[in-house]
C-alpha cells in the first residue's frame, strides 16, 4: 500500500526569528544572572552588603567605583567603562526612545541591552551637532558623580557614541503622570516631592562648584524643557542627564556667558537674559550683555513649585519657602542667593517637614 508523504518546508528566516525570540532573552537573562549570582553567593557566604550602582564591596563596605569604572546594583566589583570595541560588540539597540525634536534634536537615543541589562545608547544625530554632542559627552564623563546620569561606556569616534544607565521612571517633566499610577501612589507625598526639589538645587550647587569650573544650565529656557533634562532614579532622586549646553563662567577672568544665539522671552528666563532694548532696536547677539550662573538661581522657584505639585500640605511648604524664593527672583543677579544658600534653607525646611509628618504638620 502506497504511503502518501507530505513534506512541509518552513522558511529559513522564520526559523531564525523563532530561535531568536525563544532563546535570546534566555541568554540575556543568564548573562544578567551571572553578574547578580556573584553578589548573591558572596553576600550569603560572607555577609557583604548589596551595593547601589557605581559602588563595589571593599571590606564588607560599599565604596564608590574608581574613576573610569561602573557597576550595577548588587555587584561586588566594578568594570571599566566600555570602549568603542565593547560598545560595538556587546550593546544591542532595541528601539528609539524620546521625542525627536525635543530631547533628540542633538542625539539619537535608543533603549538598548548590554548583557541582559537595560541601558541607553546615544549617538550624535548628525554632523551639524558634532560640537554639541562632543561637549555633552565630555561633561557627562568629566562630571561623573551621584548628581549625573550613570556613564557605562563612551566612544569618541565619528558618531560620538555614549552608553548610560536606564532610568525606568523617566524624566522629571512627567512626574505628575508617573505618580498618578496606582502602583506608585505611595510615593506621591510631600516628602518625596520635596526631596526631588532638594536634589534639583543640590545638582545646581554641584554644577556651580564642579571640578570642571562654574557650569551653567544654558538649555533651560522654559519649565518643561528644564525638567526634561533631569531623570528620576528608582529611589526617587534626581540626576542631570542633558549636559549638551553647559558653558563655563570664569569669574576670576571676568568671562561670562550667553545662552544660545537667539533672543529669549518670557518670565522663566532671568531678566539679564532678555534683550535690554526691547523693540526699539533689533536683537543683536554681539550687543547682548553677558551673564553668569545666577540665571539658574532665578529658575529655582518655578521648578520647586512644579515639583511640589498639589499634595497635602504643599501650600504650607510654599509659605515656608516664600522668603528664599523672593530672594531668588531679585532683578539684580548680585542680590540673589547662591545655590549653597538656597540648599541650606531647603534642608532646614525638610527638617520641619519630617518633624511635622509625625504630627501631621
Q: What is the mean pLDDT of each run of 10 residues along the chain (361 residues)?
A: 45 47 40 47 63 94 96 95 97 86 73 97 90 96 98 94 97 97 96 98 98 95 95 97 96 94 94 94 96 98 98 96 98 98 98 78 57
Side-chain-side CA neighbours of residue 348 (13 Å):
9
Confidence (pLDDT) at 159: 84
Report H helices in 78-119.
Answer: 84-90
pTM of the model: 0.86
Confidence (pLDDT) at 1: 46
Burial track 58-70 (b if 16+ CB lie within 10 A, e otherwise): eeeeeebbeeebb
Amino acid at each position: 500500500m502506497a504511503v502518501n508523504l507530505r513534506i512541509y518546508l518552513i522558511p529559513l528566516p522564520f526559523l531564525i526569528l523563532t530561535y531568536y525570540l525563544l532563546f535570546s532573552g534566555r541568554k540575556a537573562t543568564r548573562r544578567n544572572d551571572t553578574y547578580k549570582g556573584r553578589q548573591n553567593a558572596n553576600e550569603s557566604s560572607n555577609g557583604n552588603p548589596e551595593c547601589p550602582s557605581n559602588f563595589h564591596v571593599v571590606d564588607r563596605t560599599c565604596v564608590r567605583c574608581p574613576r573610569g569604572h561602573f557597576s550595577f546594583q548588587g555587584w561586588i566589583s566594578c568594570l571599566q567603562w566600555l570602549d568603542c570595541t565593547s560598545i560595538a560588540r556587546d550593546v544591542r539597540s532595541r528601539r528609539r526612545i524620546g521625542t525627536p525634536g525635543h530631547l533628540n534634536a542633538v542625539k539619537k537615543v535608543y533603549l538598548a541591552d548590554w548583557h541582559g541589562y537595560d541601558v541607553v545608547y546615544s549617538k550624535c544625530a548628525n554632523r551639524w551637532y558634532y560640537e554639541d554632542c562632543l561637549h555633552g559627552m565630555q561633561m557627562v564623563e568629566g562630571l561623573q558623580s551621584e548628581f549625573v546620569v550613570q556613564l557605562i561606556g563612551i566612544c569618541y569616534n565619528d558618531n560620538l557614541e555614549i552608553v548610560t544607565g536606564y532610568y525606568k521612571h523617566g524624566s522629571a517633566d512627567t512626574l505628575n503622570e508617573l505618580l498618578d499610577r496606582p502602583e506608585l501612589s505611595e510615593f506621591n507625598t510631600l516628602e518625596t516631592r520635596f526631596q526631588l526639589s532638594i536634589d534639583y538645587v543640590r545638582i545646581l550647587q554641584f554644577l556651580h562648584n564642579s571640578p570642571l569650573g562654574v557650569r551653567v544650565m544654558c538649555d533651560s529656557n522654559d519649565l518643561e524643557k528644564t525638567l526634561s533634562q533631569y531623570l528620576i532614579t528608582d529611589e526617587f532622586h534626581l540626576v542631570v542627564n542633558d549636559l549638551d549646553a553647559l558653558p563655563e563662567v570664569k569669574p576670576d577672568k571676568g568671562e561670562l556667558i550667553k545662552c544660545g544665539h537667539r533672543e529669549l522671552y518670557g518670565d522663566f528666563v532671568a531678566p539679564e537674559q532678555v534683550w535690554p532694548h526691547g523693540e526699539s532696536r533689533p536683537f543683536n547677539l554681539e550687543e547682548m550683555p553677558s551673564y553668569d550662573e545666577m540665571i539658574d538661581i532665578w529658575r529655582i522657584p518655578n521648578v520647586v513649585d512644579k515639583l511640589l505639585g498639589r499634595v497635602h500640605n504643599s501650600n504650607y511648604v510654599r509659605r515656608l519657602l516664600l522668603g528664599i524664593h523672593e530672594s531668588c527672583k531679585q532683578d539684580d543677579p548680585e542680590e540673589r542667593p547662591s545655590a549653597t544658600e538656597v540648599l541650606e534653607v531647603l534642608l532646614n525646611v525638610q527638617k520641619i517637614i519630617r518633624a511635622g509628618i509625625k504630627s501631621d504638620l
